[in-house]
Amino acid sequence: MPDVNPVAFVVLAALALGGAVMTVLTRNVVHAAFWLLEVLVATAGLYLVLSAEFIALVQLMVYAGAVSVLVLFVIMLTLRRREDSVRTRDLSWPVAAMSAVLAVAIAYVTRALPVPAPERAAQPDVAAFGHALFTRWVLPFEIASGILLVALVGAVWWAGRGEEL
Amino acid sequence: MSPLLSILVRALLALLLMLANGVVLIYMLRKVLGHLHLRIGPNRVGPFGALQTSMDVVKLLTKEDFIPSAADKWLFRLAPYMVFVPSFMAYAALVLGPKAAFSGLDTGLLYVFAVLALVPMGVMMAGWASNSKWSLIGGMRAAAQQISYEVPLLLSVLPIVMTAGSMSLAAIVKSQTGYALGFIPRWNVLSPQIVGFGLFMIAALAELNQTPFDMSEAESELISGFANEYSGMRFGLLFLSEFSNSFIISALAATLFFGGWLVPGIDPASPVMVWLGPAVLLLKTYVGIFVLMWIRGTLPRIRIDQMLALGWKALIPASLVWLMLTGVIVRAVS
């Protein structure tokens, strides 16, 4: 795609990958959560470089704004002592192997997909995006929101088990 | 002007507005709260104490920059910027007048909320990094409160997006031109959307950590909350962003509900609006901030569990119902 600024893309991609590596390697769980936040913000930047303005803002609001705060909340509320936030580095080889297999699998599957031709005319504004979401793609959209709602209710039920809801 | 230079100039102007707003608001807060408390407020430096803030800035700049030895040093240094940068970024979406905007974002409204959603992260970072119980509790409270009130805040502005048919702040202002019955301006606050304004106002008070929802820095229990261990200019940055957030939310309220830069009786296309528009928007914004301070000087603080219950059990259902009603009305009218 000719319109993607290569410098911005490389910088953001490096930030996202570097942040992901740091999330895994840092010994402090609270620092890991903040590195995760950095990854999520860099990903929003990548969407913006790809002209997906709406997705970038939603990524910023939902993942960087809400999900990482919840991650931090869980970490800070479950730590009994502050010193517990620093752990010895635990390199789990089975997990590393599984991640590697998954990465190879994703690379293999996506390699087979055709690269979409760049269509400049098809860069939708938000109104067109919303229109498409609620007409052509309304069924997948509603299924996804149904699943999220079920997960939400399930989580509340689980957390409040034994008590009146 | 080259595009890069133009961007730099705009960013610099936004920064100037933010700094000037900070200086003005500190003075205004102390004077307004003073008079509400039947005190005088600052009155020694300059006429009516007007130069007090500039002296305070000098004091903040020259104060020792202290970092507690047990603090998490990197996060402690980073946190003020984590609070300051999103707040500064939010200015990009503001539309000051017909020809005065920092950028012409199509998704301006969403953008403001998306960048302001990052502020709680900085607050939590400050609270955690300070390694003090007061800071940590203050940070956690602030984050819990902002997360729960972001939902009703967003839901309360969605009806405006529906009636205006756009998320661009310029288009929302345009949708409020004209008069109902020939003389009432079509501002959203003078329409049934006054319900949405009420919801917005309550959610905004919580989002801004303002009384009656200011338990994140409840002085009587938490000293000054997440900013407790900060001093010098780091403390200054934390406070500057707090004042700047008040300005942004108040400017948003003026734009969404009070016709933005529109003046009743003056044609929005007339050339006089080019300079009158921004002045009027600033006036509306500062009236909004004055009301915020008035509430702050009047109401007592509620408990954290009460305010979380209010958010999740009252405000969110109410905004959802109002959203649906507006949807039906918009559909029926069009």
Q: Residue B20: inside a domain, yes or no?
A: no
Instruction: Based on the fold, state whether residues A131 and A70 are members of the same structural domain.
Output: no
- Band (A44; pLDDT cuts 50, 70, 90): very high
What domain range includes position A137? 124-165
Q: Closest to B143 (Cβ–Cβ): which among A53, A64, A69?
A: A69
A2 or A9: which carries more pLDDT confidence?
A: A9
Considering only alpha carbons, which residue of chain A is nearest residue B78?
A: A34
- Asked if the model's pLDDT at residue A16 lies above 90, the reply is yes
pLDDT above 90 as % of chain B: 6
Q: Residue A43: inside a domain, yes or no?
A: yes
Q: Residue A56: inside a domain, yes or no?
A: yes
Interval A90-138: pLDDT, tens: 777 888 899 899 999 998 888 877 776 665 555 667 788 888 888 889 9
pLDDT of amino acid B33: 85
CB-based contact B200:B257 (threshold 8 Å): yes
- Band (A144; pLDDT cuts 50, 70, 90): very high
- What's the gap in Å between the CA of B45 and the closest CA on chain A? 42
* Mean pLDDT along residues B247-257: 91
Q: Do A60 and B140 touch (CB under 8 A)?
A: no
- Asked if the model's pLDDT at residue B217 lies above 80, the reply is no
Considering only alpha carbons, which residue of chain B is nearest residue A35?
A: B75
B147 chain-A contacts, CB cut-off 8 A: 66, 69-70
Beta strands in chain B (DSSP E): 95-97, 100-101, 179-180, 184-185
Element (H, E) at A48: helix A29-49
Instruction: Based on the fold, state whether residues A73 and A1 are members of the same structural domain.
Output: yes
CB-based contact B148:B312 (threshold 8 Å): yes
Q: Closest to A65 (Cβ–Cβ): which among B118, B140, B165?
A: B118
Q: Do B114 and A76 touch (CB under 8 A)?
A: no
Provide CB contacts within 8 A for A61, sequence distance 6+.
B110, B113, B114, B117
Provide CB contacts within 8 A for B205, sequence distance 6+.
B211, B212, B213, B292, B295
Q: Residue A45: inside a domain, yes or no?
A: yes
Instruction: Based on the fold, state whether residues A80 and A155 are members of the same structural domain.
Output: no
Backbone φ and ψ for A10, nearest 5 degrees, come out as -65, -45
B114 chain-A contacts, CB cut-off 8 A: 57-58, 60-61, 65
Q: Residue A135: inside a domain, yes or no?
A: yes
Q: Do B110 and A61 touch (CB under 8 A)?
A: yes
Number of domains in chain A: 2
- Asked if the model's pLDDT at residue A140 lies above 90, the reply is yes
Q: Residue A162: inside a domain, yes or no?
A: yes
- What's the gap in Å between the CA of A96 and the closest CA on chain B? 29
CB-based contact B169:B220 (threshold 8 Å): no
CB-based contact B185:B176 (threshold 8 Å): yes
Q: What is the CATH number of the domain that holds A75?
A: 1.20.120.1200
CB-based contact B196:B121 (threshold 8 Å): no
pLDDT of amino acid B220: 62
Chain A 86-125, CB below 8 Å of chain B: which residues?
125
Mean pLDDT across chain A, nearest whole number? 84
CB-based contact B284:B213 (threshold 8 Å): no
User: How many residue contacts between A and B have a Cβ separation below 8 Å?
Assistant: 66
Q: Scanning the structure block, which residue is given the tokens 């950095």?
A: A38
- What's the gap in Å between the CA of B43 and the closest CA on chain A? 41
Instruction: Based on the fold, state whether residues A77 and A150 are members of the same structural domain.
Output: no
Q: Do B120 and A30 touch (CB under 8 A)?
A: no
What domain range includes position B293? 63-333
Using an 8 Å CB-CB cutoff, list residues of chain B that contact chain A.
Answer: 72, 75, 106-107, 110-111, 113-115, 117-118, 120-121, 124-125, 128, 131, 136, 140, 143-144, 147, 150, 165-167
- Asked if the model's pLDDT at residue B216 lies above 80, the reply is no
* Mean pLDDT along residues B51-68: 83
pLDDT of amino acid A129: 82
pLDDT of amino acid A50: 82
pLDDT of amino acid A1: 45
Interval B68-99: pLDDT, tens: 887 788 888 888 898 899 999 888 888 887 77
CA distance B174 to B172: 5
Return the structure tokens found at A28.
Answer: 């402090």
What are A86's strand-pairing partners? A28
- Ramachandran bin of A16, using left for φ above 0, alpha for ψ from -120 to 50, beta for the remaining angles: alpha
Q: Residue B255: inside a domain, yes or no?
A: yes
Q: Scanning the structure block, which residue is given the tokens 């901030």?
A: B289
Q: Residue B219: inside a domain, yes or no?
A: yes
Q: What is the torsional sign of CA B58, B62, B68, B71?
A: positive
What are B100's strand-pairing partners? B97
Q: Scanning the structure block, which residue is given the tokens 């010098």?
A: B232
Element (H, E) at A146: helix A138-159
CA distance A50 to A47: 5
Q: Do A57 and B114 touch (CB under 8 A)?
A: yes
A76 chain-B contacts, CB cut-off 8 A: 124, 128, 136, 140
Considering only alpha carbons, which residue of chain A is nearest residue B161?
A: A127
Number of domains in chain B: 1
Interface test with A, best of B167, B172, B216, B313 (most A CBs within 10 A): B167
A65 chain-B contacts, CB cut-off 8 A: 114, 117-118, 120-121, 150
Q: Residue A98: inside a domain, yes or no?
A: no
B120 chain-A contacts, CB cut-off 8 A: 65, 69
Q: Residue A104: inside a domain, yes or no?
A: no
Q: Residue A154: inside a domain, yes or no?
A: yes
Mean pLDDT across chain B, nearest whole number? 84
Q: Do A57 and B111 touch (CB under 8 A)?
A: yes
Q: Look at chain B and count its residues.
A: 334
CB-based contact B266:B280 (threshold 8 Å): no
Return the structure tokens found at B170.
Answer: 């310029």
- What's the gap in Å between the CA of B116 and the closest CA on chain A? 8
pLDDT above 70 as % of chain B: 96
